[in-house]
């Protein structure tokens, strides 16, 4: 096949009217694996992709012993101890934030919803800082950070959702403004907590964490976000019809057999879990939940059966690459990845807002 034909057939796969889902998922899954191998090699010390692949293969029991060792010990340590957990974490966080965005957008029936814009990230940070600096949630054990961030997200989502509902329907102006108001309150709370912090070390940690970074990734951080992502994803995929129906409005969704109130509560729980847990391991990485689902819908249309897996994969790939950029641009120093996503995502948000208001006219 010539290249031209290939592009045409690729275009027909990503046709919004009739996307060829198995092929799209396959392409994205392969892209995700390639991304992980290349991204693992990139950084201040570069390891070539074939070495990364071999190092990874050597770790697989059974075939691992057949791989000839052509790399240095240091390279193996960088790949396995530093980069790989970071890349994995990027995948999981990106996917979680994208899935959280999809969930929130279905909940409020608007594609401008995003954990960052609606103040959920601020809420999670406020509660997490409280936990970090004062040990307010230490009774929750090793998951205290994740759980406090989850509680923060849940409180904010419920708050924003309740304020923005006018006579049973979410009003977009009200939604964005209540997002601004709630995140301002939460930022204020965070400042108060930080100013009255009892020790400087904790404060430094909190500051670094809050700017949004994957730099501190360890294998131990991965478990919880991964489990939460899988569980939430399974729940959402089982209920994809319900998510679609919710877009028709509460009344229509109810008339088509959904227990709307109960389903919305589940979605609030899911959105809080995915946002809270992702934020607890990576700080605030904004706009992923906005830009990724939006691009996904441009590719495959609005059906959640397609939107959910595609945005999860795209979100993961996107965050991993932005993180690569974050550690390369001013190497050997690092940029917080949250700053980069904000620089990319902000304009996307403005463009979408503009387009939305133009469509209304």
Partner 1 sequence: MNVRIKIDGLTYSYSYDENDAVHDVSFEVNEGEFVGLIGPNGSGKSTVLKNIYRALTPDKGAIFLDGENLLKMSHRKTALKQAVVGQENDVPFNFVVEEIVAMGRSPHKKLFDIDTAYDKQVIRHALEHMGMADMAKRNYQSLSGGEKQRVIIARAIAQESSIFLLDEPTNHLDISYQMQIFDLIKRLKVTVLSAIHDLNMASLYCDRIYVLKDGKIVLSGTPEEVFTPENIFNVYGVRCSVEKHPITGKISITFLPEEIIKTHSVVDKPLGGNA
Verify binding: residue 20, partner 1, rule CB under 8 A: no
Question: At closest approach, how far in Å is the CB of 350 from partner 1?
Answer: 19
Candidate ranges 51-59, 186-194, 200-208, 239-247; the one touching partner 1 (CB under 8 A): 239-247
Q: Residues 31-50: x/- map of binding to partner 1 (CB under 8 A)?
A: --------------------
When the beta carbons of 24 and 326 are compared against partner 1, the nearer one is 24
- CA dist list (Å): 28 to 39, 42, 103, 223, 304: 16, 20, 21, 23, 17
Note whether 180 binds partner 1 by CB under 8 A.
no
What is the DSSP pairing of strand 165-166 with strand 169-170? Answer: antiparallel
Distance CA 132, CA 110 (A): 34
Q: Single out the residue of 59, 110, 174, 295 in contact with partner 1 (rule: CB under 8 A).
A: 110
Number of Cβ atoms within 10 Å of the Cβ of 267: 23
Element spanning 252, H or E: helix 250-255
The reply to whether 259 sits near partner 1 by the rule CB under 8 A is yes
> Residue 17 or 333: which CB sits closer to partner 1?
17
Site residue total, partner 1 (CB under 8 A): 31
Question: If binding is defined by CB under 8 A, does position 245 make contact with partner 1?
Answer: yes
Can you tell me which of 6, 252, 325, 329 binds partner 1, judged by CB under 8 A?
A: 252
Provide the β-strand partners of residue 126.
Answer: none
Q: Toward partner 1, which CB reaches closer, 109 or 194?
A: 109
Q: Which window, 154-162, 254-262, 274-282, 313-321, contacts partner 1 (CB under 8 A)?
A: 254-262
What lies within 8 Å, CB to CB, of 36 at 6+ separation is 84, 87, 88, 91, 320
Kindly calculate the radius of gyration of the chain based on its CA atoms and give it in whole angstroms. 21
CA quadruple 144, 313, 216, 116: dihedral sign? negative
Q: What tokens appear for 169 in the block?
A: 């329907």
Q: Is residue 167 at the binding interface for partner 1, with CB under 8 A as the rule?
A: yes
**Is 238 a binder of partner 1 (CB under 8 A)?**
yes
Contacts (Cβ under 8 Å, ≥6 apart) of 13: 19, 20, 23, 24, 27
Task: Return the number of other C-beta atoms located less than 10 Å from residue 137's C-beta.
Answer: 20
> Among the candidate windows 5-13, 51-59, 299-307, 316-324, which touches partner 1 by CB under 8 A?
299-307
> Which CB sits closer to partner 1, 284 or 297?
297
Among 25, 241, 269, 321, binds partner 1 (CB under 8 A): 241
CB of 250 to partner 1, least distance (A): 7
Structural contact between residues 56 and 37, judged by C-beta atoms closer than 8 angstroms? yes
Can you read off the two tokens belonging to residue 317? 């790939």
- Interface with partner 1 includes 255 (CB under 8 A)? yes
Nearer to partner 1, 107 or 149 (CB): 107
Q: By three-state DSSP, how is residue 169 classified?
A: strand
Give me the residues that bind partner 1 (CB under 8 A), please. Answer: 16-18, 105, 109-111, 167, 238-239, 241-242, 244-245, 247-252, 254-259, 297-298, 301-303
């Amino acid at each position: 096949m010539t290249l031209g034909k290939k592009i045409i057939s690729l275009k027909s796969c990503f046709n919004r009217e009739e996307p060829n889902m198995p092929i799209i998922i396959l392409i994205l899954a392969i892209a995700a694996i390639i991304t992980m191998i290349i991204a693992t090699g990139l950084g201040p010390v570069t390891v070539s992709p074939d070495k990364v692949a071999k190092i990874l293969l050597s770790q697989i029991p059974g075939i691992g012993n057949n791989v000839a060792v052509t790399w240095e010990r240091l390279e193996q340590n960088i790949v396995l101890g530093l980069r790989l957990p970071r890349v994995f974490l990027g995948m999981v966080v990106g996917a979680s934030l994208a899935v959280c965005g999809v969930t929130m957008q279905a909940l409020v029936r608007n594609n401008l919803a995003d954990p960052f814009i609606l103040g959920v990230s601020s809420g999670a940070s406020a509660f997490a800082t409280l936990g970090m600096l004062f040990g307010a949630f230490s009774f929750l054990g090793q998951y205290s950070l994740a759980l406090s961030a989850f509680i923060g997200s849940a409180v904010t989502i419920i708050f924003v959702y309740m304020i923005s509902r006018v006579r049973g329907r979410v009003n977009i102006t009200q939604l964005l403004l209540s997002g601004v108001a709630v995140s301002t309150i939460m930022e204020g709370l965070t400042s108060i907590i930080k100013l009255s912090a009892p020790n400087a070390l904790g404060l430094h940690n909190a500051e670094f964490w809050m700017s949004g970074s994957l730099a501190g990734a360890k294998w131990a951080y991965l478990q919880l976000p991964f489990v939460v992502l899988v569980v939430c994803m399974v729940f959402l995929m089982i209920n994809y019809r319900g998510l679609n129906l919710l877009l028709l409005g509460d009344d229509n969704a109810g008339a088509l057999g959904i227990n709307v109130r109960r389903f919305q509560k589940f979605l609030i729980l899911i959105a809080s879990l995915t946002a809270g847990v992702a934020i607890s391991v990576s700080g605030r990485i904004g706009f992923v939940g906005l830009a990724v689902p939006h691009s996904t819908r441009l590719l495959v249309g609005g059906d959640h059966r397609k939107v959910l897996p595609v945005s999860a994969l795209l979100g993961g790939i996107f965050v991993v690459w932005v993180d690569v950029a974050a550690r390369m641009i001013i190497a050997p120093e690092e940029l917080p990845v949250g700053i980069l996503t904000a620089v990319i995502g902000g304009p996307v948000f403005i463009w979408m807002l503009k387009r939305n208001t133009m469509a209304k006219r």
